[in-house]
Structures are given as C-alpha cells and as structure tokens.
Chain A
Amino acid sequence: MHRQQVPRSVYVHIPFCKHKCYYCDFNTYAVQGQPVSDYLHALELELHQTVEQLPPGQIDTIFVGGGTPTILDNEQMRYLITMLEQAFPDRSPSLEFTMEANPGTTAPDKLQVMRAGGVNRISFGVQSFQNELLEAIGRIHRVDEVYESIEWAREAGFDNLSIDLMFGLPRQTLDNVEQSVNKALALKLPHYSLYSLKVEEQTLFHTWYEQNRLPLPAEEEELAMYRLIMHKLEAAGYHQYEISNFASPGKESRHNIGYWCNHSYYGLGAGAHGYTRGRRHVNVKGVQEYIAAATAGLPIAEQWEVSREEAMEDYMMVGLRMNEGIHQAAFREQFGVHVDTVFASQLAACIENGLLERTITGFRLTERGRELGNEVFAAFVGVHV
C-alpha cells in the first residue's frame, strides 16, 4: 500500500545560482553574499534528523537539483557529497546519482570531486544553442561553454549526460529550434530533456508578459516545435519516455520515473518537497529561514497526510505523463483496487476524446493526448478528494 514504501530516492536542493534566469520561479537565490557554508551545515543537520526519524534502506537514486548545485566550490562540493554518503551509506549497485549543472560552472577539478564522490549523471541546463536566445532569457553561459563543459565532463569519466533545451521562447522560431536540436543531437548524449516555456508568476517574464512585451510564439507554432522535436529525437534513435524526456534505451532518468510512479522520496534542502510514509512536506523556503529552522528541528513549512484517494489521483496525474502510461497491476499493488473501477468514467471520457488509449497492461496518452496532456491530467484531479 502507498504508505508503506521506504524511500529509495533522495532529492537535495541547492538554492543558489549566479543569478536568476528571467523565466525561473524555482526556489533559488543569487549566490553572491549568501551564507553557502551555513546552508550546507543546516542541510547536514536536516539530513541527520531525517535519517534518524526515518532510517533509509538501500538508495536507488539521488538527485541534487537547484538552483545550480555546481555553483558550490570544490570544498563545499566535497562536503555536500560526504554528508550524503554518511547519511545514505547503503547504495544500490546501480545507483543513479544525478547532479544538475550549468555550463561554465563545471571546471575539470570540480568534476573530479563529483566523480570521486559517486556522482554518475550530470544534467546540464543548456536551453539553447543560440547565444542571442541565451542572452534573451537571462542565462549566464554561452554556446562555447556548452561544448567545453560536455567535453570536460566526458574527460572526467561521465558518460551518462543529459542536457535540457527549451522551446517556445520569446522570438524563437521553428528554425532556431531545429538548429538547437541538431546541435544537441550531434553531441550524441544518452539523454535529452526538452521543455516548453511556461510563463510563471513572479518572474521577469511574467512582468513582461503582463506588459505585452513578451513576443511568445503562437500556440500553433509552439506545437510545430514540439512535433519537430519529437520527430527528430525519435529519428535519431531516442525514445520519448515522458512528455519532455527522451533517452537511449536504459538511460532514462530513474529518479524522475520514481516521481511519476508515485514512489516516495526524501526531500532535503530549502523549499524541497518530500514524500515519505504517505505524507508530503515542503521545507521552509528562504535560505536564512531554512538555516534557522534546521537548527531548531526539522525545517518543515507545511506537511500533510496524503489520503488514499489523493494518492490515486496523483498516481494518474503523474503516471500518465509517461509514454508507457500507467499499469493496472502497479496501481492495484499500490492501492489494492482496480484503476478501471476507481476512474471508470474519467478513463472512458478521455478514451472517447481520443486522448487516452488502452494498452495491454494499462492506459497511456495518445499522440494527441500528449499535446493536450492537461486535459487528461485534470480529468483525474479532484474526483475523489
């Protein structure tokens, strides 16, 4: 049942960047003047308390995200990695240990520290192969640094690399996207994430959007970009395993798949989300506040019990993001009931609309459903809760 899983995944949040990109609303702060070391100490305190309260078993995946984790200096990086080693000593032989990185923040010696500490997967926030676009969205790096970083990473022994690209950016054209994708594919990486821009509140982009100063591509054009991306990635031998994710066989991000399968995970660091023992929690967001809170106890801002009904809905909402969809057997294993019984009318309606289809083992999005995913996800939300 969904409450009894012992987390096999760990998420750690490093809320620092060189500066914030114009579209970003993640919990992250410009690093200058930030008490990074204090933050890491607080993180260590949280780690100790967490594993004391819920002793971990064997860990399958670790994901250090941000922010820009690689903004840490070598000493800090070592410190972070060591504390994770101590807190989660039992690791699966096939451990997937991902760290997010930004081109230009991964000098060879830092990569060595990471490598030595067990990091075996790096996800680079590349976003685009056009300098004008990078500048226009507020990235700190330029295209040259992308190549350099990938090369260094390979030299340091990392072969499980991924890059993020964005589409639907202001003034981005279909041609731009094609060029970026071509250049990305030329790197022959095992994994690519391609995200469409969403204008989030409390970002610079949102302000511009409200002022009518954000020339976003039309929906039709954005759709064409998405289709082009799917087409090119498939043609290059990558399979799409989620709305925005493509991989060579066996190189899918197991950590993310864990989220989509409604598995539990430790969530550590400022503003991090965790899901353990059937409860979700969100940590205190601000850096200083987090440091203060972690010194006094667990730095939790909010936590709540996930009812069985809510968990079932979450399962559908995130599970259907995956191309293979949801499996009836896995659903039954988690909840002890048949998915067809719980969501009979919602499934039928989405199938009728041509957004969902049956597979031998369950249900998945159709091609159209992938483009209109929210219509499907929304159908399963708030049904029983």
Chain B
Amino acid sequence: MDRTERQKKIRNFSIIAHIDHGKSTLADRILEYTGALTKREMQEQVLDQMDLERERGITIKLQAVRLTYKADNGEEYLLNLIDTPGHVDFTYEVSRSLAACEGAVLVIDAAQGIEAQTMANVYLALDNNLEILPLVNKIDLPSAEPERVKQEVEEVIGLDTSDAVLASAKNGIGIKEILEQVVHKVPAPTGDPEQPLKALIFDSHYDAYKGVIVYVRVIDGTIRAGSKIKMMATSKTFEVIEVGVFAPRMTMVDELTVGDVGFVVAGIKNVKDTRVGDTITETKKPALEALPGYRKINPMVFCGLYPIDTSDYNDLREALEKLELNDASLRYEPETSSALGFGFRCGFLGLLHMEIIQERIEREFNIPLITTAPSVVYQVTKTDGERISIDNPSHMPEVGKIDYIEEPYVKASIMVPNDFVGTIMELCQSKRGDFINMEYLDANRVTLTYDMPLSEIVYDFFDQLKSGTKGYASFDYEFSGYKTSKLVKMDILLNAEQVDALSFIVHRDKAYQRGKVMCEKLKELIPRQMFEVPIQAAIGQKIIARESVKAMRKNVLAKCYGGDISRKRKLLEKQKEGKKRMKQVGNVGVPQEAFMAVLRIDD
C-alpha cells in the first residue's frame, strides 16, 4: 500500500469524558473488540498503567495505542486511540493529545449528563477542530435517561445527537457502532509526506534502557531511524535510533509518516528536552514554523517537601530525580527551612499532581515526608520597583518593602443542580470569588462562573464544594491572570520562635480570623511537651492571636511489678514511636499534620 492509500485508512481519535463517566472502560472494550488484546491478556483498564491511577480511578499519564479494525465495508482501517488524562491539573496535556487527533469520542454518563469536565473537554476538542462523536454511556443503569442526556447535549453543547451511540462500555454494548462512526465520520489525516517533517510531541516517558521515549503524531513528512531531528522549542538535536508504534506493546517499524501515531527513541537523556506540544523537525530539511499551541507550562502550586528523617535527604533527591524523568511538569529545587532543615521546593500543575507525587515518594520510595501547605506564586512589586515571584510564603519581603502584591486568579466553572446555587454562591463569595456569570443548562442545572483566587481553591475549596452539594457539583478551572490583592504574610511562632514552614499568605480582611483558627488548630495538633508551648500568629511584629499547649506535668510509670519488664518496655516503645513521627522544631515536637493545618481552616 503506498503512503497516500495508507494515509486514507488512518483514523486518529481520543476519548474525552468527565471523570467516572466510563472513559477507561470504553477504551478497554475497544482494545478487546479490535483484538489488540485477547480477553485473556486483558487486564482491567490496561491504559491506566500506574497502580495509583488504578486505585484512584483516574488517568494521569496518557497513552496511545494502534488498532486495526475491519469495518462493515470490508476495508481495514488503522485506528490510533490516544488516551487523555482526566483531571483539570492536566488540561494542557489533554489539549496536546487532542491536537494529535482528528476526532474525539465524547462519553457522557446516561444518568449524570453533562458535567464540568465534559464542557471543558468539548471546548478543547472544538479548539482543535475535532470531529466530536457523542456517546451516551451506561445506558443499562436503572437511573439512565439517555434521551434527556441527548437533548441536554444538543441544547448545551449544540452537538447533533441524532446519531449519538447509546452504549454500555461495561457490557460491551455500542462498541462496534462507535468504531464504525470513527471510521466514517472522523476525517483521515491530511498532510504531505514530502513536506519537511513536523511531528507533534504529545507525551514522553523515560525508559531505563532506551532513554526518553517520545510519543509523537506525524503531521507532515516522515521520520525513521537515522533521521537527524531537532526539537523546535528547545532547539535540541538528536539522531533517531528507532521508531515504532504501540500495538499496544511497543513495536518497531521502518518509518512513521503522515497521520501515524508512535514513538521515537533518540538517545534523549532528559524528558525536559522533549516538551509536550513541541514540534520535531529534521535538521537537514527543517520546517519553517512549529505547530501551533505549544506552551511552556509552569507549575501553579508549590510546596516544600522535607524528609522527616534528615538522613533521607539524599534518597528524597534521588526519588525526585527519578520522578522527574517521567514528569516534565514536576519542578524542584533544594531549599532550606530553619524549622524543617534541608528539603525541596516543588512545583506542581495542581493539587492532584502534588498529592500524586507525594504519595509516590512515600509509597514507591518509602520516604516519610513532611509537606508544607501548598502555595501559589505571588508577583510582588517592591517599593524600589523590582518585581519578584514568590512561591514560598516565608520568602515574602517585609511589609515596608512591598509596593503591591498580585495573585493568580482562575476562571472557575461550577456546574450544579438548582437547589445548591445559593450554597455555591455563598461558598464562592467566602472564597473571594467575583461573580461572572450564571447560565441555566436546563430547568434543573446551572453553570456558575466565578473569577477566584487560585490560593482559595488550593485551600480546601474542592472538599467544601463537594460537601456543600452532597457531591453533585462538578468543577473546572483555568488560569485567568494576575490581580492585585491586599495580602499579608502570617507568621506562626512556636515557643516564641518563628517557624518558617508554617507561614502563609492571607487576604488582609481574613487575616485575623485565619490567624486565630490556625492557632487553635495547632493547639489541637501539637501534643503536650515537657514545657508550655505558646503558639502565636503574627503579621510583621504584631501578634494577632495566641494559644498555648500546656506543659506535660507528670508522666511516669509508677510500678514495675513482679519483674515484668517487657511490658514496660512495650509501653515506652509505643510512646517513643509516636514521637518519631514528629519533626523537632527547635525543641518542640510537631506532628506531620500540623504543617498542613492551614489547609484545614474552615472559614
């Protein structure tokens, strides 16, 4: 088959959905149906490879797989299914993998209907000019209302749903139908194999033997072993060692050409040289311009990671190095805290990303961690005109040197049943949100749009949103820009010593309340010591709240009876074990949770 003929038979598509609407199950069934994997080989949700992903039921790293499908018209098609991560932290990755496709299957839960991420994903797909194929999933649920959901999709999104596939991925219903639609409705890739190479990087992962494996979609030109390639954004050049496809295991092929989705191995040592969204071209015949849409993504949320046991510092660094190999968006640099010692300031795309990294370090690398409360990046303009970015509250300059502070805002879209509109508005207002818009999806459901400080979202917004709406609200946000805010740094003093790791930034109007609650929270969390521990919250020199942990006065086993020494020993060991999990700050033993206490302040 020549290249042009072959190109006509390629269909590149993605599956997009709100979390839990059944995306991964659908992907599994498609793999099974097309025989990419036999049932026996099939492991539940093969595309979600990490344990954590499977546990949390979310996709973190996206994957691509090549399938062959013999359509009803007798023709055999090459389908490339590109899985996308399903969380707001990874919006950029989703947009890039969508850019690698011509079509997207939009999965909507037949009971729940459209949710916030459904909308966000549809917009991303529309931005990338994809053919969107609606699929109403879970139609066999007792609560399924496929007709209502179809109508909602027509009204809210404006998609024609007359051909929408009614499916139950779980029970294999509608799989063939959606594959037929992919073949007939999703356009074949356009592009010219003779043009200079343009291949879109939509993911990469690190392999201990081969180095970085770059996931690409070829737009124009051809790439093969021996090609000398250049990353257009980073200007790094490499020689291709091998190219291949995921079928679904990695399989070498001679070349990747227009429309192909596959991998490139080129002796690349660092995943940061292969940025998602970057364009690969050939050095000898370079493309004039890169593919659109590339963005250098910056971490939005920062926190300090410190080993509880200082001797784990090097292990922690190695763990971060290893994680970074696979995660171009993870940022870290050494930092020192007078309270916590040596650790790392780490930047993440969002809270979920942060939690995942923490959990992996503790689980896979077995390093107990102290995590400081997450912070956003503040832009500070000093009185001398200098502008600095602050990602660690303790680095905030003193009040007298600050002209003004700007903080990141996001546009938050919250989709919620009618009954909860009041609750949500109250919540958003208490989180300093500026109301933008309210839109009725149908008679019962509303989308509220607020402009909100990202820092407020970081502080338990999501939990409050869920608990305030009995779990019915769905939520999505995107960065909207920086705004000037009246912010102050709150310092916490334990035993009259400032604990840098406990400092946080807070809006001036809320400072008093937050300081007070923070002191109370810490009083609960810090166990009694051998001396009284005063807890103070201060802005600059001014103490605004105080509490104290009363001293332990008497703690001694009265009796050592009948020579039963082992029992005493066990008791004392238990007492000691509790202490080990604490960080000594000065001479005060502070438990892990205390450093996250600021997150648990309910307004």
Measured CB to CB, the residues of A under 8 A from B are 11, 13, 26, 65, 195-198, 219-220, 222-223, 226, 243-244, 256, 259-260, 265, 267, 272-275, 280, 282, 313-314, 317-318, 321, 353, 355, 370-375, 377-379, 381-382
Is B560 a contact partner of A321 (Cβ separation < 8 A)? Answer: yes
Q: Which stretch of B181-189, B268-276, B447-455, B564-572 is in the interface?
A: B564-572
CA–CA, A371 to B530, complex, Å? 10
Does A243 contact B558, Cβ atoms closer than 8 Å? yes
Question: Given contacts A317-B568, A377-B572, A381-B573, is CB(A371)–CB(B563) below 8 Å?
Answer: no
Provide the bound-state CA to CA distance between A26 and B559, in Å.
Answer: 12
Can you name 20 extra interface pairs (CB under 8 A) apart from A259-B560, A314-B565?
Answer: A11-B562, A11-B563, A65-B561, A65-B562, A198-B559, A220-B553, A223-B554, A256-B560, A267-B563, A272-B563, A273-B563, A275-B565, A317-B568, A321-B560, A372-B530, A372-B556, A373-B555, A374-B575, A378-B579, A382-B573
Asked if B552 CB lies within 8 Å of chain A CBs, one says yes
Given the complex, which residues of B lie within 8 Å of A373, measured CB to CB? 555-557
Smallest CB separation, B274 vs chain A (Å): 48
Contact: A372 with B565, CB < 8 Å? no
Contact A382 B553 (CB under 8 A): no
B576 within 8 A of A: yes
Number of interface residues of B (CB under 8 A): 23
Measured CA separation A184–B566 after assembly (Å): 32
- Which of B567-593 touch A at CB < 8 Å? 568-569, 572-573, 575-576, 579
Q: How far is the CA of A11 from the CA of B564 in the complex (A)?
A: 11
- Quick check: B555 and A317 within 8 Å, CB to CB? no
A35 to chain B, nearest CB (A): 22
B566, A371: Cβ atoms closer than 8 Å: no
Q: Report the bound CA distance from A381 to B119 in whole Å.
A: 59
Complex CA distance for A15 and B555, rounded to whole angstroms: 29
Question: A219-B554, A243-B556 in contact; A374/B563 too (CB < 8 A)?
Answer: no
Are A317 and B558 touching (Cβ within 8 A)? no
Q: Which residues from B are CB-within-8-Å of A375?
A: 530, 552, 555
Q: How far is the CA of A65 from the CA of B530 in the complex (A)?
A: 35
Q: Is the CB of B572 within 8 A of A195?
A: no
Whether the Cβ atoms of A259 and B565 lie closer than 8 Å is: yes
- Give A113 Cβ to nearest chain B Cβ, in Å: 23
Contact A195 B555 (CB under 8 A): no
B557, A377: Cβ atoms under 8 Å?
A: yes
- Please state if B559 and A244 are interface contacts (CB–CB under 8 Å): yes
Known A-B contacts A353-B530, A377-B572, A381-B572; the reply to A226 vs B554 at CB < 8 A is: yes
Instruction: Give Cα A353–Cα B565 distance, bound, in whole angstroms.
Output: 25
Contacts of B560 in A (CB 8 A): 256, 259-260, 318, 321
Docked Cα-Cα span, A372 to B554, in Å, equals 5
Cβ-defined contact, B553 with A371, below 8 A: yes
In the complex the two chains form, is A317's CB within 8 Å of B556's CB?
A: no
A273-B565 in contact (CB<8A) = yes
Q: Is the CB of A374 within 8 A of B555?
A: yes
Inter-chain contact A378/B565, CB cutoff 8 Å: no
Tell me the smallest distance from the CB of B527 to a CB of chain A, in Å.
12
Q: Report whether A274 and B563 are in contact in the complex, using a CB–CB cutoff of 8 Å.
A: yes
Residue of B nearest to A267 (CB): B563
Minimum Cβ distance to chain A for residue B94 (Å): 50
Using a CB-CB cutoff of 8 Å, which residues 533-568 of chain B contact chain A?
Answer: 552-566, 568
Can you name the residue of chain A whose Cβ is closest to the Cβ of B564?
Answer: A273
Identify the closest chain B residue to A255 (Cβ): B563
A277 CB to nearest B CB, Å: 15
In the complex, what distance in Å separates the CA atom of A219 from the CA atom of B553? 7
9 A-B pairs (CB sep. < 8 Å) = A195-B559, A196-B554, A219-B553, A223-B553, A243-B557, A244-B558, A370-B556, A372-B556, A374-B556
Task: Check B569 against A265 for contact (C-beta < 8 Å).
Answer: no
Which residues of chain A come closer than 8 Å to B530, judged between CB atoms? 353, 355, 372, 375
Q: How far is the CA of A353 from the CA of B589 in the complex (A)?
A: 14
- Nearest CB in chain B: distance from A321 CB, A: 7
CB distance from B587 to the nearest CB of A (A): 8
Measured in the bound complex, the distance between the Cα atoms of B561 and A314 in whole Å is 14
B558 & A272 in contact (Cβ 8 Å cutoff): no
Whether the Cβ atoms of A372 and B555 lie closer than 8 Å is yes
CA–CA, A265 and B560, complex, Å:
15
B229 CB, nearest partner CB in chain A, Å: 57
- CB B108 to nearest CB in A, in angstroms, measures 51
Residues of A within 8 A of B564 (CB): 273, 282
Shortest beta-carbon distance from A279 to chain B in Å: 12
Residues of chain B with a CB closer than 8 A to A378's CB? 572-573, 575-576, 579
The answer to whether A381 and B569 touch (CB under 8 A), given A226-B554, A372-B552, A374-B555, is: yes
B6 vs chain A, min Cβ distance (A): 68
Q: Which residues of A contact B556 (CB under 8 A)?
A: 196, 243, 370-374
